[in-house]
């Protein structure tokens, strides 16, 4: 079964306090659901039409596990704490092997 990657790209951070409250809840919720943080932070370098935005990559054993992690009550509580504190997108991408 191919691994899956949860990729979060932050377009804008509107409220750093809400982001901090989210992070306190989201990290343990994601790890508790089987996620492994691969990368977090600003890019070291961007190319082509890249934009320097905070990016988070989390590895899961499967797409189903990544989706289930997002839908857990613990992660939903983190999202409630985040509210409108950021503009971002989350993509779940299946690995190639």
Residue pLDDT, tens place only, 25-78:
999 999 999 999 999 999 999 999 888 999 999 999 999 999 999 999 999 999
pTM (predicted TM-score): 0.91
The residue extents of the domains of the chain are 4-94
Secondary structure element (H or E) that encloses residue 40, with its range: strand 36-41
Secondary structure element (H or E) that encloses residue 55, with its range: strand 55-60
Backbone angles phi, psi at 13, to 5 degrees: -110, 115
**Using an 8 Å Cβ cutoff, are 88 and 14 in contact?**
no
Q: Which fold has domain 4-94?
A: Alpha-Beta Plaits (3.30.70)
- Indicate the pLDDT class of residue 81, thresholds 50, 70 and 90: very high
End-to-end Cα spacing for the chain: 7
**Using an 8 Å Cβ cutoff, are 42 and 54 in contact?**
yes
Alpha-helical (H) ranges within the chain are 16-32, 63-71, 73-82
């Amino acid at each position: 079964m191919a691994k899956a990657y949860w990729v979060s790209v932050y377009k804008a951070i509107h409220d750093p306090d809400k982001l901090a409250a989210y992070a306190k809840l989201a990290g343990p919720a994601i790890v508790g659901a089987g996620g492994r943080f691969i990368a977090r932070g600003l890019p070291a370098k961007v190319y082509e039409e890249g934009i320097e935005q905070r990016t988070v990559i989390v590895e899961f054993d499967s797409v189903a596990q990544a989706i289930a992690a997002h839908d857990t009550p613990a992660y939903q509580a983190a999202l409630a704490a985040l509210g409108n504190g950021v503009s971002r997108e989350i993509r779940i991408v299946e690995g190639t092997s």
